[in-house]
């Protein structure tokens, strides 16, 4: 049998498929006597892919036989659900029968045989049946496999006896693809957080900065002479995956301190500070660090928190000590 060399047209560009094994393509092989099928469109890339015909080996369809356009691609941290909106498409006017399996992908787009960027900033717990729980904000890469049932293959073969060949072209390596066992596709899921604004206040008399999600506290401090400096960050609402940020108050100096660290809270309480509970929550994502700075010369307003690297660097030049990341903004 002759070695097969195929050509695919994508965005009016010729792409030669070499003899290197392409085991990541989704393929269905049909013999010459089967009806033609229209070209389809990749949901991930927008590129159109047409059938490639070769007299020796038949048709190879470079497209999946299901539609994931209705599958949820955007979820929120703490949210649970199911990717159950997969629509199976006909193969030559026959509806495929089989099973859909989901898994965390290795960032390979089997639809076009191309490697996608590895986006693992987000975390999603995923079962094979498509049930998920979003755990960390960011982007997660998900893949699904549609496995054709043996009954459907028998049904198709009874209508088209020459639908499959037992010999795979050298260029496609494994004969599994020639039997059209499955079709794979990869998609990205954006994991977001519900957020509320975190307000920043400044006391021009003491030099202290105060941070709160509470608009009543903000307005009360403004009436008392504090300056409202705007939104410090977008603060995520509470989920089981968000770390709490605690507020501690020094009744002698009138100063507030914010930290994720329970040990710091306990230490300050042992020195006479008052624990005021959870002030807000830290993001599950590490994309927006909130920097902590300390003024060794001050007795009030000794700590300052900001997501601005420019503010951080300016204060360091002015003699403040940079103490690292305090928490993460949403």
For residue 135, the tally of other CB atoms under 10 A from its CB is 18
Cα dihedral sign, 125-127-132-138: positive
| Burial zone of 262 (CB within 10 Å; 0-12 exposed, 13-18 middle, 19+ buried) | exposed
Per-residue model confidence (pLDDT) at position 64: 55
Of 255, 230, 246, 330, which is closest to residue 280 (Cα–Cα)? 246
Per-residue model confidence (pLDDT) at position 69: 80
| Burial zone of 33 (CB within 10 Å; 0-12 exposed, 13-18 middle, 19+ buried) | exposed
Q: Give one DSSP letter per residue of 120-149, joined into a string.
A: -SSEEEE-TTSEEEEEESEEEEEEEEEEEP
For residue 79, the tally of other CB atoms under 10 A from its CB is 16
What pairs with residue 126 in β-bridges? 132
What pairs with residue 141 in β-bridges? 188
Cα dihedral 14/178/93/130 (nearest 10): -90
Compute the distance between CA of residue 114 and CA of residue 112 in angstroms, rounded to an integer: 5
- pTM as predicted: 0.71
Give the per-residue SS3 of 58-89. EEECCCCCEECCCCCCEEECCCEEECCCCEEC
Compute the distance between CA of residue 290 and CA of residue 306 in angstroms, rounded to an integer: 5
Of 258, 246, 236, which is closest to residue 306 (Cα–Cα)? 258
Per-residue model confidence (pLDDT) at position 244: 98
Q: In what order do the strands lie in the sheet with 244-250?
A: 255-259, 244-250, 274-281
| Burial zone of 64 (CB within 10 Å; 0-12 exposed, 13-18 middle, 19+ buried) | buried
Of 169, 179, 175, 162, which is closest to residue 31 (Cα–Cα)? 162
Task: Walk along the chain (330 residues) and give the pLDDT tens digit of each residue.
Answer: 333 333 333 333 333 333 323 222 233 333 333 333 333 333 233 332 233 333 333 333 444 566 788 888 899 999 999 988 887 777 666 777 877 888 776 544 443 333 444 456 788 888 888 899 999 999 888 877 777 777 877 787 677 665 554 444 444 433 333 334 445 677 888 999 999 999 999 999 999 999 999 999 999 999 999 999 999 999 999 999 999 999 999 999 999 999 999 999 999 999 999 999 999 999 999 999 999 999 999 989 999 999 999 999 999 999 999 999 999 998
Compute the distance between CA of residue 87 and CA of residue 212 in angstroms, rounded to an integer: 46
For residue 192, the tally of other CB atoms under 10 A from its CB is 17
Is-contact 51 36, C-beta < 8 A? yes
């Amino acid at each position: 049998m002759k070695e097969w060399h195929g050509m695919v047209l994508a965005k009016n560009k010729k792409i030669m498929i070499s003899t290197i094994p392409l085991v990541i393509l989704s393929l269905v092989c049909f013999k010459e006597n089967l009806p033609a099928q229209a070209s389809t469109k990749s949901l991930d890339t927008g590129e159109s892919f047409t059938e490639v015909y070769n007299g020796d080996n038949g048709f190879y369809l470079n497209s999946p036989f299901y539609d994931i356009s209705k599958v949820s691609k955007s979820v929120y941290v703490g949210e649970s659900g199911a990717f159950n909106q997969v629509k199976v498409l006909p193969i030559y006017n026959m509806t495929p029968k089989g099973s859909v399996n989901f898994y965390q992908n290795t960032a390979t787009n089997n639809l076009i045989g191309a490697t996608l960027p590895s986006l693992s900033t987000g975390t999603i717990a995923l079962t094979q049946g498509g049930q998920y729980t979003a755990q960390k904000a960011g982007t997660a890469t998900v893949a699904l496999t549609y496995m054709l049932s043996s009954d459907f293959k028998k049904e198709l073969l009874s209508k088209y006896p020459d639908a499959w060949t037992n010999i795979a072209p050298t260029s496609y390596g494994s004969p599994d693809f020639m039997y059209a066992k499955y079709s794979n596709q990869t998609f990205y899921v954006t994991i977001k957080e519900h957020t509320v604004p975190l307000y920043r206040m400044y006391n021009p008399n003491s030099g202290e900065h105060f941070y709160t999600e509470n608009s009543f506290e903000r307005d009360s401090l403004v009436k008392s002479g504090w300056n409202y400096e705007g939104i410090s960050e977008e603060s995520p609402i509470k989920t089981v995956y968000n770390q709490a940020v605690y507020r501690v108050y020094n009744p002698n100096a009138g100063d507030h301190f914010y930290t994720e660290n329970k040990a710091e809270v306990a230490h300050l309480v042992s020195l006479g500070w008052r624990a005021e509970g959870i002030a807000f929550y830290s993001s599950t994502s590490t994309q927006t660090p909130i920097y902590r700075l300390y003024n060794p010369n001050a007795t009030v307003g000794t700590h300052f928190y900001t997501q601005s690297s420019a503010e951080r660097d300016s204060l360091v030049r002015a003699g403040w000590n940079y103490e690292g990341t305090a928490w993460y903004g949403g």
